[in-house]
C-alpha cells in the first residue's frame, strides 16, 4: 500500500490548505471584514488544526482505513454509504467548479484567444496523469511545486510594496471586533475543503509518527495563515477596501501592476505558471477524494478507465460554466452551503461517537 512520509504530509497539508484560495480570499474577506480582513484570514486557518486532530484521533484505532470506512464501522453500512455518496458529490463538484475557474482565470489573463475547452482539457489531463501515478507521486509533486507557488506569491507582494498607500491600513478595528468574527465565519469553508481531502487521504499517512503529524498540521496551518493574511493585507494596501471588493481576481491585477526596476513589467505570465501548480494540486486532491468516495460506494478497484471517465465528467461539466462574478459566487455559495456543513458536522459527530463508544467499552 502507498505511504507518504511525515514531511510529505506537512507539505501536502500546506499545499492543499493553500490550494487556490489565494485567488478569491481578498475580495471575499474584505466584503465582510473591511480593512481588517487580514485578521479574519489569519485566524480562520486555525480551524484546520482541531478538525485535523479529530481525524487523527478517530482513525488512530482504525489503521489503514479512511474516514469513510470508519463512518461505516461506527454508523452502520447504509448511513456510511449515504455519507460516502454525499462526500463524493461535494468534493467532485467543488473540483469541477475550481476547474472551471482555471479556464476563466487563464482566459482573463494570459490566454484570451484560447478556447476555454482547450485550457480545461489541458488542466484535467495534468490532473489525470498525476492522480493515476498515485498518492506518493502526488505528495512528491506537492513537495516540489508548493515552494514555487509560495515564491510567486511572495514576489508579487514584495514588488507591490512601492504601490502601498499607508492610509488604507488605518484605522485598525474601525468597526470593532464583530466584522472580524463575521469574516472568520464567512471564510471557514476554506480550511474545511482541506479537511475533506484529509478525511480520505489519512489512510496513506504513517501513523507510527503521530507526534510529527500533529506538528506538521500545526506548521502547515500557521504558515498558510500568515501567507494568506499578508496577501490580503497587500491587496488592501494597494487597492483599498472598496476597490478590493470589486475585483474578482485581485491577485491577477497585482501581477499585472508589478514592475522590476521600471524596465520589466506585466510579468503576470510568469506568476500564472507558478500559480498553475496550485491549481493542479488542489484539483487533483479533490479528484482523488472523489475517486476514494466512488471506490467506497462501489467497491471498484483502481482502474484507468474509471479515472478517465471521472476526468471526462469533470471536463464536460466544467467547460460550459459561466465565468467572472457568476462563477465566483457559485463557488462561494457551494462552499458555504455544502462543504462547510459536511465537514463541520461530520467530523465532530464521528469524534464524539467514537469517544462515547470507547468509554462504553471501558465501562
Q: Is residue 360 part of a domain?
A: no
User: From CA 204, how far away is CA 194, in angstroms rounded?
Assistant: 15
Q: Is residue 362 part of a domain?
A: no
Per-residue pLDDT, 111: 77
Q: Is residue 185 part of a domain?
A: yes
Mean pLDDT of the chain: 89
Mean of pLDDT values over 42-53: 96
C-alpha dist (Å) from residue 151 to 218, 231, 263, 301: 21, 12, 21, 38
Q: What is the CATH number of the domain that holds 126?
A: 1.20.1740.10
Q: Is residue 358 part of a domain?
A: no
Residue that has been written with the C-alpha cell 500564472 in this structure: 272
Mean of pLDDT values over 229-247: 89
Residue that has been written with the C-alpha cell 468509554 in this structure: 359
Per-residue pLDDT, 61: 82
pTM score of the predicted model: 0.93
In the chain, the number of structural domains is 1
| 205 torsion bin: left (phi>0), alpha (psi -120 to 50), beta (else) | beta
Q: With both helix axes pointing from N to C terminus, report the angle between 189-201 and 77-108 in degrees, rounded to the nearest 10.
A: 120
Q: Is residue 141 part of a domain?
A: yes
Q: What is the DSSP letter of 338?
A: I
- In angstroms, what is the C-alpha Rg of the chain? 20
| pLDDT tens, residue by residue, 2-40 | 889 999 999 999 999 998 888 889 889 999 998 899 999
Domain that holds residue 30: 6-351
Is 50 exceeded by the pLDDT of residue 227?
yes
Q: Is residue 195 part of a domain?
A: yes
| pLDDT tens, residue by residue, 27-37 | 899 999 988 99
Q: Is residue 172 part of a domain?
A: yes
Q: Is residue 62 part of a domain?
A: yes
Amino acid at each position: 500500500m502507498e505511504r507518504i512520509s511525515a514531511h510529505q504530509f506537512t507539505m501536502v497539508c500546506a499545499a492543499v490548505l493553500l490550494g487556490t484560495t489565494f485567488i478569491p480570499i481578498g475580495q471575499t474577506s474584505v466584503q465582510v471584514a473591511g480593512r481588517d480582513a487580514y485578521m479574519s484570514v489569519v485566524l480562520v486557518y486555525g480551524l484546520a488544526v482541531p478538525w485535523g486532530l479529530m481525524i487523527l484521533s478517530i482513525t488512530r484505532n482504525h489503521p489503514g482505513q479512511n474516514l469513510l470506512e470508519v463512518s461505516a464501522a461506527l454508523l452502520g453500512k447504509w448511513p456510511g454509504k449515504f455519507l460516502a455518496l454525499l462526500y463524493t458529490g461535494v468534493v467532485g463538484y467543488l473540483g469541477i467548479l475550481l476547474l472551471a475557474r482555471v479556464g476563466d482565470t487563464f482566459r482573463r489573463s494570459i490566454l484570451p484567444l484560447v478556447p476555454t475547452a482547450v485550457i480545461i482539457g489541458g488542466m484535467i489531463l495534468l490532473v489525470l496523469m498525476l492522480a493515476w501515478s498515485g498518492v506518493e507521486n502526488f505528495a512528491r509533486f506537492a513537495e516540489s511545486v508548493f515552494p514555487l507557488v509560495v515564491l510567486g506569491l511572495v514576489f508579487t507582494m514584495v514588488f507591490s510594496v512601492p504601490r502601498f498607500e499607508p492610509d488604507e491600513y488605518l484605522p485598525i478595528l474601525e468597526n470593532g471586533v464583530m466584522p472580524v468574527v463575521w469574516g472568520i465565519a464567512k471564510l471557514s469553508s476554506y480550511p474545511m475543503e482541506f479537511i475533506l481531502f484529509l478525511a480520505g487521504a489519512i489512510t496513506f499517512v504513517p501513523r507510527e509518527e503521530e507526534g510529527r503529524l500533529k506538528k506538521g498540521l500545526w506548521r502547515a496551518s500557521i504558515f498558510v495563515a500568515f501567507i494568506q493574511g499578508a496577501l490580503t493585507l497587500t491587496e488592501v494596501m494597494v487597492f483599498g477596501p472598496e476597490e478590493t471588493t470589486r475585483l474578482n481576481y485581485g491577485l491577477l491585477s497585482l501581477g499585472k501592476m508589478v514592475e522590476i526596476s521600471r524596465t520589466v513589467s506585466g510579468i503576470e505570465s510568469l506568476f500564472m505558471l507558478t500559480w498553475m501548480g496550485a491549481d493542479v494540486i488542489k484539483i487533483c486532491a479533490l479528484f482523488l477524494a472523489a475517486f476514494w468516495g466512488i471506490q467506497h460506494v462501489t467497491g471498484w478497484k483502481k482502474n484507468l478507465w474509471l479515472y478517465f471517465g471521472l476526468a471526462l465528467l469533470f471536463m464536460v461539466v466544467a467547460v460550459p460554466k459561466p465565468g467572472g462574478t457568476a462563477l465566483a459566487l457559485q463557488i462561494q455559495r457551494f462552499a458555504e452551503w455544502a462543504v462547510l456543513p459536511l465537514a463541520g458536522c461530520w467530523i465532530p459527530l464521528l469524534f464524539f461517537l467514537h469517544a462515547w463508544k470507547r468509554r462504553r467499552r471501558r465501562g
